[in-house]
């Protein structure tokens, strides 16, 4: 019996195969520098861990409402009020199993068979795959450093078609780390609204901004759908917790979907996440953001000596998107050779770009500066042999 043909449209994440190879090399005694996976080398902040342990000790292990623990939804609303000056009704916030849970809900609600979705190319591949599983087609809009690697209002207007129902942005973005400012976000929101469509914005790297102030489309358009996560800025990757901010009219159908798809997010994780918004935890998170900025700057400086630094430094997240076309037109072969010859693991651009990914790689500055400097030295040795 054949599988659902939609599953065939979900491509494998190539970096996972490369990660397995890197881990096998480590097990064989090689000193591998991991710059491939989007997970910094920080443990979850202690106040969050302590809150999770306390929740378990207190027996907080029963289901929460499908939309999430009321206290956590209120805390997230308070986060928007404190940091973005916008009042978001806690009733518009749904807590989900990771940002992936939020994307699943949004994609199932907003698009279906025959609908089309606009996204920047390159983009995080799972964004395309969620839309494919909903039956929609993705129009991957080419972006480059001329538009700061973002899907702007001009491109939304140019590529919007009769069947387009949704535009999805990511700011800061994965894999490039670039952002849209308030004016650009407003222009996109207005362009989408004028065409009767929906806007979905991935803000999971929102707290990790270095050159621009963090902002949220929630402060710009009450009609936008906003995906966020406790994984990146808050350091809770393995806890699998995220959230979705939705327009008021969308909350009831989204809650129905949540009830049927995953019932509720992890109860201990939700109680733990309450501590993520405390001043004690905020101090830790801001120290980590500063450290990531130092890592970014150190890696950029090292790559500049190799004439590989990007023309536009990333403004957020923890990635660099590098053009390697001077050395290779096959990023997968390039990454495997770098791992085999120099034990440096990075990600091929083909994971992220529908077109042109063979000319790019993504480097995650998720390890310490000394290791980043060693990675640059190894990369230099590698490139000399190309």
pLDDT at 14: 79
Q: What is the pLDDT of residues 234-246, one digit of tens each?
A: 999 999 999 999 9
Tokens of 117: 């979705």
Q: In this predicted structure, what is the pLDDT of residue 262?
A: 95
pLDDT mean across residues, the chain: 96
**pLDDT at 9 (0 to 100):** 84
pLDDT band of 385, cuts 50, 70, 90: confident
Q: Domains in the chain, ordered, with CATH? A: 5-43+281-385 (3.90.1150.10), 46-278 (3.40.640.10)
Contact present, 316 and 296 (Cβ < 8 Å): no
Mean pLDDT value across residues 157-168: 98
pTM of the model: 0.95
Residue 130 has pLDDT above 80, yes or no: yes
Q: How far, rounded to the nearest angstrom, does the alpha carbon of residue 351 sit from its chain's CA centroid? A: 14
pLDDT in tens, 272-281: 999 999 999 9
pLDDT at residue number 1:
66
Is it true that the peptide bond before 8 is cis, omega within 30 degrees of 0?
Answer: no
Residue 247 has a pLDDT of: 98
**For the segment 303-337, what is each residue's pLDDT rounded down to a tens digit?**
999 999 998 999 999 999 999 999 999 999 999 99
Q: Is the confidence at residue 192, as pLDDT, over 90?
A: yes
pLDDT of 126 > 90? The answer is yes
Tokens of 106: 């949004």
Strand order in the sheet with 242-245: 93-96, 242-245, 225-229, 198-202, 164-170, 116-121, 137-142
Place of tokens 């609204």: 193
Q: Are strands 198-202 and 242-245 parallel, antiparallel or unpaired?
A: unpaired
């Amino acid at each position: 019996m054949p599988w659902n043909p939609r599953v065939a449209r979900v491509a494998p994440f190539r970096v996972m195969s490369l990660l397995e190879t890197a881990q096998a090399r480590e097990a064989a005694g090689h000193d591998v520098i991991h710059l491939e996976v989007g997970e910094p080398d920080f443990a979850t902040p202690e106040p969050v861990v302590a809150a999770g342990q306390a929740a378990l000790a207190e027996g907080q292990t029963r289901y929460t409402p499908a939309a999430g623990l009321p206290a956590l939804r209120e805390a997230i609303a308070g986060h928007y009020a404190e940091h973005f000056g916008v009042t978001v009704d806690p009733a518009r916030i749904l807590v989900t199993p990771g940002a992936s849970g939020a994307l699943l809900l949004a994609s199932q609600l907003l698009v279906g068979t025959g609908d089309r979705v606009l996204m920047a190319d390159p983009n995080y591949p799972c964004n395309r795959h969620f839309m494919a599983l909903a039956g929609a087609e993705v129009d991957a809009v080419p972006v480059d450093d001329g538009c700061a690697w973002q899907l702007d209002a001009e491109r939304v207007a140019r590529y919007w078609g009769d069947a387009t129902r949704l535009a999805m942005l990511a700011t800061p973005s994965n894999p490039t780390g670039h952002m849209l400012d308030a004016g650009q976000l407003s222009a996109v929101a207005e362009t989408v609204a004028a065409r009767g469509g929906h806007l979905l914005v991935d803000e999971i790297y929102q707290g990790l901004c270095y050159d621009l102030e963090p902002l949220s489309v929630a402060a710009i358009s009450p009609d936008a759908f906003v995906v966020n996560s406790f994984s990146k800025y808050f350091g809770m990757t393995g806890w699998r917790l995220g959230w979705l901010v939705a327009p008021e009219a969308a909350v009831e159908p989204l809650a129905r979907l949540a009830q049927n798809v995953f019932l509720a997010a992890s109860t201990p994780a939700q109680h733990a996440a309450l501590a993520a918004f405390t001043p004690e935890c905020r101090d830790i998170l801001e120290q980590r953001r500063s450290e990531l900025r130092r890592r970014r700057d150190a890696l950029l400086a090292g790559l500049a000596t190799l004439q590989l630094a990007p023309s536009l430094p990333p403004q957020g997240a923890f990635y660099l998107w590098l053009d390697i076309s001077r050395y290779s037109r096959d990023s997968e072969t390039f990454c495997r050779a770098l791992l085999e010859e120099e034990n440096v693991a990075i990600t091929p651009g083909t994971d992220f770009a529908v077109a042109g990914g063979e000319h790019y790689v993504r480097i995650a500055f998720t390890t310490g500066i000394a290791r980043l400097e060693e990675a640059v030295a190894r990369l230099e040795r590698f490139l000399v042999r190309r």
